[in-house]
Structure 1
């Protein structure tokens, strides 16, 4: 049965690639900047797309929000040029409001949730309920969270909701310009909070689980065309590939859920 399923999956992807190859226009270079939760899926899908379409994707990476030098808002502020941007819905809407993106071009790609990880071999804390999560946070000597969308939610909404904002100011640290998992892997924090897709690829970590539903934040990561881009048709073509049902299993394997059309 597993062998049959593998053949079926390969057949679906092959069919999709043939379709995208036939739809591709003259080979183009598509400049894309993407953030956090979609990054692992993006890295798996882009080589497949390039091989099928003949287009070349030039990739850049940065946080969805914030003023770190490599964040997406900072890069736009410096005038860096892109054809397509992929980031959290809040960051996307801010760029849209500023006139950086093409109105009406938003396409939701995946849903992402916040997870928790610890250094491999250390005890896994209890986060199964809201009260257990609260006690785990209060007992932790050090906590690392993202400077992007998930971290903003934790520091401005979840910590205050749990009544531990003051304590977290002493023990929690916002991580700039690198993945939270890297900080936890080095032993610089006991607990790491970030999108699940950002944590599960660190072999040095043990994934604890996702936040309880009552305090979970589900974030959409979406694409949009950049205002003034000369490769908008090619960028649309790439987005159609990212949302193709044939590649949904690849996307899902990276810790995010594809958004059904």
Structure 2
């Protein structure tokens, strides 16, 4: 039986539509977003990343490094050698420097959380008194060995706090900077009697006890900020990540990591 003309025309139209559909651009696929984070925000980021990926379908590829310093892992050094990075999370002052250099776009970068410096000892070891500036000074003088980070907290201790307490010379023989490794690991191995770093970086390390935060008069509160790299090809996905990390949904896990969300700090006036 010979098909009717209308049926032939209908079949040709269907084939034409199928061909046109194949030629149409596919919907935008989920992005692969490369993120470099410093240790201070790392625990919060690791807790939040799976939820972001679930909500958006984007895939996060993560790298870690200090916000400053001479190590190859340092985030500014990664950017200077043109590593594939879309978003950076790091100490605010260092991020501002990258904005001025043109490495990070000025639009949209802002503070995510505030961090305090803490002191740790090996798990089970006696916990020295750091409840006042005088007690902290005596603890530093009595300690046989001291470790501190090569990022914001360590720079503050070695260049500001030790001289302010009048103990810079006494620290030279026993206090050392730890490059590109969590200070807590050095303390856990027994290679330093006490260690100082951001509380959010000490909390995840096994084998140590957090003694507490430095007293207010000897404390430096460090902002951790997020910014989008100028060379990114995934601006929309990067904007989505920045918005998610800044949202109220992210706040509980940021608090759990030992940080104070910036939105909470602004609301409380601190």
TM-score by length of 2: 0.85
**Structure 2 residue matching 1:173: 3-state secondary structure:** strand
Matched, 1:117 2:129: no
Runs of 4+ in 1 over 6 A off after TM superposition: none
- 2:103 aligns with 100
**Structure 1 residue matching 2:121: 3-state secondary structure:** strand
Matched, 1:175 2:181: no
Superposed CA deviations along residues 35-58 of structure 1, whole A, max 9, x for unmatched, are 021100000110111011100111
Among 71, 74, 79, the alignment partner of 2:77 is 74
**Structure 2 residue matching 1:234: 3-state secondary structure:** helix
| Kept after mapping to 2: 8 A contact 1:146/1:175 | yes
**Structure 2 residue matching 1:170: 3-state secondary structure:** coil
Superposed CA deviations along residues 64-85 of structure 1, whole A, max 9, x for unmatched, are 0001111112212222121111
Among 219, 225, 247, the alignment partner of 2:222 is 219
- 1:45 aligns with 48
Deviation at 1:217, TM superposition (A): 0.5
Max radius of gyration: which structure? 2
Higher mean alpha-carbon deviation, 145-154 vs 74-83, is at 74-83
Task: State how far apart, in whole Å, the 2-side matches of 1:67 and 1:76 are.
Answer: 13
Task: State how far apart, in whole Å, the 2-side matches of 1:154 and 1:181 are.
Answer: 16
Report the count of equivalent residues: 237
Among 200, 206, 212, the alignment partner of 2:209 is 206
| Kept after mapping to 2: 8 A contact 1:67/1:73 | no
**Structure 1 residue matching 2:258: 3-state secondary structure:** coil
Deviation at 1:228, TM superposition (A): 1.8
- Structure 2 gap ranges (5+): 1-27
Task: State how far apart, in whole Å, the 2-side matches of 1:168 and 1:98 are.
Answer: 35
| Kept after mapping to 2: 8 A contact 1:140/1:191 | yes
Task: State how far apart, in whole Å, the 1-side matches of 2:167 and 2:35 are.
Answer: 39
Matched, 1:257 2:260: yes
Among 195, 199, 207, the alignment partner of 1:196 is 199
Deviation at 1:203, TM superposition (A): 2.8
Alpha-carbon RMSD: 1.1
Among 57, 60, 74, the alignment partner of 1:57 is 60
Task: State how far apart, in whole Å, the 1-side matches of 2:249 and 2:86 are.
Answer: 24
Task: State how far apart, in whole Å, the 1-side matches of 2:101 and 2:84 are.
Answer: 15
Task: State how far apart, in whole Å, the 1-side matches of 2:244 and 2:108 are.
Answer: 15
- 1:19 aligns with none
- Structure 1 gap ranges (5+): 1-24
Deviation at 1:144, TM superposition (A): 0.3
Task: State how far apart, in whole Å, the 2-side matches of 1:257 and 1:234 are.
Answer: 25
| Kept after mapping to 2: 8 A contact 1:117/1:192 | yes
**Structure 1 residue matching 2:172: 3-state secondary structure:** helix
